[in-house]
Amino acid sequence: MKHTIREIFHSPKFLVGFSIFMFILLVVIFYPLFVTAEPLEIIGKGTFFEPGIYVNVYDGVNSKQYTLNLDDAAEKRIASKLGDQERLDMQEWLLSFGIPEEEIDIYDTEKLIELWENNYDRSIRFPGMTSARQKYFGRLNTSLAGLLSTEGIVLAAENQETGELESTGIIEQTNYLNVGQVANVRVLPLGTDNFGRDMLTELVSATGTSLKIGFIAGSIATMIGLTLGLLAGYIGGWVDDIIMFFTNLFTVIPSIVLLILISYSIGQEQRGAVTVAVVIGFTSWVWTTRAVRAQVISLRHRDHVNLSKLSGHSVGHIIVHDILPYIASYVVMAFILQISSGILAEAGLSILGLGPKTTDVPTLGLMMNWAMIYSAHIMGKWWAYFPVIVVIALVSFSMNLMNTGLDQVFNPALRE
Amino acid sequence: MPNKQEPLLKAVGLTKEFGFGRQKTLAVAGVDIELKEGEVITIVGESGSGKTTFAKMILGLIAPTGGEIYFQGQLRDISTYKKKLEYWKNIQAIFQDPYSAYNIFHKIDSVLMDCIRMRGGGNLPHKEKVKMMTEACSFVNLKFEELTNKYPFELSGGQMQRLMIARIFLLDPKILIADEITSMIDACSRATILDMLMELRDKIGMTVIFITHDVGLAYYVSDKVYIMEKGLFVESGTPDEVILHPKEPYTKRLISDVPKIYEEWDLSTV
């Protein structure tokens, strides 16, 4: 036993899979200890904030300011608003407006903006221009305002008595603040989702829930599969016939169809994460049953089983002591695969909108579902779905790798 | 107490069919056998002749599809676990392959302990059990102290088979079925094991059914020899009758297939 475990941990495939899985597991366990925020708390007003460091503007204005004279500051400021794409778009508008092409020099910022300010009219809509395009030019125009100014921004406050604005300070273009000194800074490493929730916190919580679902589903499926497989294989006869009748029945109906039907009939409100896990578990025991049965049938006529019978052991004792240890490695591998397929089944079910109810806990499938409903994939908001895909793939990959590693240890014929 | 004249074990028209329809094969095709107390009989036949199936039916490990088995004059009844247990107290077996006959997860102690429990010694003090196990092991020239906490697969094939005899020593059955017990063992250990088995037989006076393809073995140990071909006993009698003066061609072939050192081996009949 000790020897086997040592051998398992010497298998490189198992080790890699195990490391990935443990890393995910540790993050799921320890992340909530450091970030105690509710995973489903809506913090952002708006959808799909990009990943990044969010600095509170109010606190920034009021925090200590430093003057840094950096040469490329103005250039960068212009470049952030007026990139190559924007310049080309402006050229397109101006050409449509009727300005001759040779007059437009898109690389001379001052001239281009001057030309733009002299000619642009928000109300003009050229033939063939969509209203979205028209609005885009409106936004572009707004963002260009004051771009070339060298003046600072005047801060003003309302005088309580007179109601007039009184200047309280000026923010020069050379003013800087130290992010570490700003009272409120929020790092959103994966941005926010469509509801304005912190993606990372949500993702970690979702991974935990999905692992739980996988574990419950895998346990149920393995328990049912193991029990039925042992009974059918060892007892045989009519017990085998009845069990195999139901197993074959479930084999020919694709389990995803059963999952969809059962989930649908349970109803959105009653579907918690555990309910979904149980449903998945009860629809995926078939292959374990068949495999265990096949193994048991090959074992039950072996001499050590006969010897155990002749030594006066009961059926229960023989199953537990003479059959189970021989198929234990197989069952462990099946269990790992069942967990992984349970997670995938939940993801598949949730993406169809038949997963756990959306108000309770996030799951990996639900996050995919939300990202899909809000067209994150069309709008290019990669952070709303890509990290989820990566986590699902990693969990599945690590488990399959562990399974292969175990297989090679228990099945020496498979070793290279 | 059964009548002395009554056979200890009697099988009438014992049949075993495998499969059904076109694939039906008759492994044992209605054989009769009578076994008197203390007798040693040998069933000789080539692979696939139904010897092992026959042995397993006698043992009650597989159910016959036809025929009856009488044990101590009564129709054998092993329909429940308790009745089986009672039957197996009287009839035991040693299997062909010692490497697969042990549960690799159980230590040697537990194998022997099971035998003591089966003989009703489960409640004995531990010292007493150790004494019994030591005695059984020393009978087969094994040292129990060296075997405790060892697994069967750590022993050699010969040692494992000797341990099987130690098991029978503890179980003290009326009938022992020895199914090709020496076929996986080298020639040297073979004689030792057979000697031990015959010694044990003299000690506890059990009836032994040897199942073998080894005509030589049959000749030396048995009171009666049965030649089995395709599920039927084609010839039976004392070793002298059957092996020295065979009537059936099948028997003659079996005998000629045994290599003899002093004359050239005729491979053309194989």
* Residues A202-226: tens digit of each pLDDT: 999 999 999 999 999 999 999 999 9
Label residue B2 by pLDDT band (50, 70, 90). very low
CA distance A369 to chain B (A): 48
What's the pLDDT score for residue B267? 60
Alpha helices in B125-248 (DSSP H): 126-139, 144-147, 157-171, 187-204, 215-221, 239
* Residue A415: CB atoms within 10 Å: 9
Per-residue DSSP letter, A413: G
A96 touches chain B (CB under 8 A): no
pLDDT above 50 (res B270): no
A309 touches chain B (CB under 8 A): yes
Give the residue on A whose Cα is nearest the Cα of B115: A311
* Residues A354-367: tens digit of each pLDDT: 888 877 889 999 99
pLDDT above 70 (res B260): no
Judge whether B218 lies within some domain: yes
Using CA atoms, how far residue B186 sits from B137, B189, B192, B193, in Å, is 21, 6, 10, 11
Q: How wide is the angle at C-alpha B263 spanned by C-alphas B257 and B269, nearest 5°?
A: 30
ipTM of the complex: 0.88
User: Which residues span the domain enclosing B118?
Assistant: 9-269
Residue whose token pair is 């409903």:
A373
Can you give the CATH number for the domain in which B61 is found?
Answer: 3.40.50.300
What's the pLDDT score for residue B1? 45
pLDDT above 80 (res A49): yes
What's the pLDDT score for residue A412? 67
Q: If one looks up domain A2-39+197-414 in CATH, what number appears?
A: 1.10.3720.10
Strand ranges (E), A37-97: 52-55, 65-67
For chain A positions 189-218, those within 8 Å of chain B (CB to CB) are none
Least confident of A2-6, A36-40, A366-370: A2-6
Joined together, the tokens standing for residue B125 give: 């003090």
Alpha helices in A35-130 (DSSP H): 57-62, 73-81, 84-97, 109-119
Q: What is the pTM of this model?
A: 0.81
Percent of chain A with pLDDT over 90: 40
How many domains does the structure of chain B reveal?
Answer: 1
What's the pLDDT score for residue B264? 63
* Partner residue facing B88 (CB), from A303, A312, A315: A312
Nearest partner of A246 among A223, A222, A228, judged by Cα: A228
Strand ranges (E), chain B: 9-18, 25-35, 40-44, 66-71, 74-75, 91-94, 175-179, 207-212, 224-229, 232-237
What's the pLDDT score for residue A149? 78
A302 touches chain B (CB under 8 A): yes
Mean local confidence (pLDDT), B148-173: 87
pLDDT above 50 (res A411): yes
Per-residue DSSP letter, A284: S
Judge whether B207 lies within some domain: yes
First to last CA, chain A: 23
With CB atoms and an 8 Å threshold, state whether B105 touches A321: yes
Domain ranges of chain A: 2-39+197-414, 60-69+149-185, 83-144
Q: How would you class B249 by CB atoms within 10 Å of its CB: exposed for 0-12, middle for 13-18, buried for 19 or more?
A: exposed
- Which chain B residues are within 8 Å of A325, Cβ to Cβ? 103, 105
Joined together, the tokens standing for residue A172 give: 């020069």
State the virtual CA torsion across B157, B160, B162, B167 in degrees, nearest 10: -160
pLDDT above 60 (res A240): yes
Q: How far is A5 from A236, CA to CA, in rounded Å?
A: 33
- Which chain A residues are within 8 Å of B95, Cβ to Cβ? 303, 306-307
Q: How wide is the angle at C-alpha A308 spanned by C-alphas A306 and A312, nearest 5°?
A: 110
Q: Are B19 and B200 in contact, with CB atoms under 8 Å apart? A: no
Give the residue on A whose Cα is nearest the Cα of B173: A310
